[in-house]
Amino acid sequence: MKNILKSIFLVAFFAVLIGSCNDDFLNLKPLDRMSENDVWSDPALTELFVNEMYRGLGHGLNEAEVGSMCDESHFIHNYGTKQVVESNINPSDIGQWGSGNQIEFRWDELYKNIRYTNMFFENIEDVPFLDEEWRERLKGEVHFLRSYFYHNLVRNHGGVPIITKTFGLDDDFGVKRNTLDECIKFIVDEANLAAGLLPLEHNDANIGRPTKGAALALKSRILLYAASDLFNDPSWAGAYSNPELISVSGDRNSKWQAAKAAAKEVMDLGIYQLHNDGSNPKDNYTNLFTVKESPEHIFSRNFLKTRSWSDGAITGLYNGPNGYHNWAGNTPVQELVDDYEMIDGTPFDWNNPAHAATPYDNRDPRFSASILYDGAPWRPRPSDMTASDPVGIISIRSVEQADGTWAPGLDTRDGPIETWNGGYSGYYLRKSIDPTLDSQYGPYGQNQEVPWHFFRLGEIYLNYAEACLGLGEEAEAKTYINMIRSRAGMPDVTETGQALIDRYRNERRVELAFEQHRYWDVRRWFTAPAELGRNAHGIVINEYLDGSVTYETLSIQDRAWKDKMYLLPILQEEVNRNPNLIQNPLY
């Protein structure tokens, strides 16, 4: 997407001739803006119009991440994340979900971008393209974008109004919500239209635009949601009088079949492979999220150093340790850390003395590739701290001194560098951060160009495995689960029944950590009350004079679950504008 996400300033490409005695000077066109007629009379301007729509896709590397609204991380600066994890949002205040960090999920922004897609389709056939392939490609891109925008609306709200035309000032805005069935069908139909128009791969000039595979991957995701518990059992909503808005109808088995077939379509394209660069499992998994191109990437957003703050490509500054003059924003929580298995595939257990004595040893390689922990190697310290740590090792523990005092670690809130930016959990984010850059200077040229992946093959394999589990095809499910695990250097799963489902869900948790899946996964599995209803925890590490070390978990954030949180409310201001909008249950 590098070539379509640069700042786009539409300027006039014509000169206006003014005669000294000509009344036409009263009808001069502004030089700093374009008319609609200009856009639809020039194919290049039409493409610029489409390029602007891509901004609506957003990305997941913002200052406050979706993971901090579930059991992946704790956002230390709050920004409304506390309201979400405590289940205290309401139609007038949805906390972090209403912020600029989550702009790609906001009702108003999504419908604004949907309006642009509708405007495009109302005009595209009149644009004087000399190359019809260009027109068809743009149509495919906009079908994909409209499908993606609606998929973001649906996974947060259930059924929403399907609008396929632009409204004028005199039109009736009192549209009703479509059923969830109708919305799923619309998203799938749009994805199919996109897949039929988009190429299998792009040349270098169009890298970052969606392909056939991206459209099919989007279909795979939404059909998996449509087959899941949340959208098939509205009992959580009590006596809600409009279950058609929050649940689908029909045979559950056919939904699993559709989800399986959609994932298989992506795999059958034959152009994607799990990332394998020949390095050890930890480095291989690390590199999957730091290299610009990989055969596993299906659809990604690229960033430019020259965009700095504007592109949001400073996740290292947002999330890095305070001992590196970073902001320690989204700090992984103990609940996630504990769910990374031991290297032999057994669960980590604090009641196991060997595990408790050295909790970060012999773990799933994806743990050390995703999370910075006490003793983890990182990059060189800033120049003002190299005397304290010439190597660059994360320091969370407090060390007892001979005089009875304690020296806090460099990366703790009590450390000697920046206490106000220290985390509470004892962990920092590593995944998707380029360790070669000094992130404290991110806004000034050290921002990274690591891409954000909307879709990758790893997700598709897991989607396929989950659909197989829904159909009772356990052997097939294990084949694809174990392909993911083998890449990570982990042994095969062998369980059956509910134990296999549990192993699959944990596999999805660690493989897709911080990739904007967990928030919705625990909801669609109905595991949210147990997973999100518990407090978030962190670690306190003390090293004594005799060299012994203790690890103590402690609560760092109160959290609670209320069933209304299965879906977001429709904002009250939207309901006030359109009383035909039926509110979601329990709000």
- Dihedral sign computed on CA atoms, order 227, 232, 236, 241: positive
| Least confident among 12-26, 39-53, 434-448 | 12-26
* Full-model pTM: 0.94
- Mean pLDDT value across residues 55-71: 96
CA distance 15 to 290: 46
What was the pLDDT predicted at 173?
Answer: 78
As a whole number, the mean pLDDT across the chain is: 93
| 142, two tokens | 């906009």
Task: Give the chain's length.
Answer: 587
Answer whether residue 36 shows pLDDT above 90: no
The dihedrals phi and psi of 416, each to the nearest 5 degrees, come to -85, 5
- Mean pLDDT value across residues 161-179: 90
| Contact criterion met (CB below 8 Å) for 215 and 192 | yes
Rg, C-alpha atoms of the chain: 25
Task: Give the residue among 338, 315, 319 at the shortest CA–CA distance from 75.
Answer: 319
Q: How confident is the model at residue 34 (pLDDT cuts 50, 70, 90)?
A: low
Distance of CA 473 to the CA centre of its chain: 29
CA distance 40 to 23: 27
| 136, two tokens | 């068809």
pLDDT tens string 1-28: 434 433 333 333 222 222 334 444 445 5
pLDDT tens string 269-321: 999 999 999 999 999 999 999 999 999 999 999 998 877 677 777 999 999 99
Task: Give the residue among 450, 426, 321, 327 at the shortest CA–CA distance from 380.
Answer: 321
What was the pLDDT predicted at 4?
Answer: 45
What was the pLDDT predicted at 136?
Answer: 98
- Mean pLDDT value across residues 524-551: 98
- Mean pLDDT value across residues 499-505: 98
**Sequence-separated (6 or more) residues with CB below 8 Å from residue 341:** 347, 348, 363, 364, 490, 506, 510
Q: How confident is the model at residue 347 (pLDDT cuts 50, 70, 90)?
A: very high
- Mean pLDDT value across residues 472-485: 98
pLDDT tens string 116-145: 999 999 999 999 999 999 999 999 999 999
CA distance 456 to 370: 17
Q: What's the burial of 397, exposed, middle or buried (CB within 10 Å: 0-12/13-18/19+)?
A: buried
Please, where are the H alpha helices in 124-179?
132-157
pLDDT tens string 370-413: 999 999 999 999 999 999 999 999 999 999 999 999 999 999 99
Q: How confident is the model at residue 529 (pLDDT cuts 50, 70, 90)?
A: very high
Answer whether residue 73 shows pLDDT above 60: yes
Compute the C-alpha angle 249/178/104, nearest 5°: 110
* Secondary structure of residue 454 in the 3-state scheme: strand
The dihedral formed by the CA atoms of 156, 75, 355 and 353, expressed in degrees to the nearest 10: -110
| Least confident among 28-37, 90-99, 514-523, 524-533 | 28-37
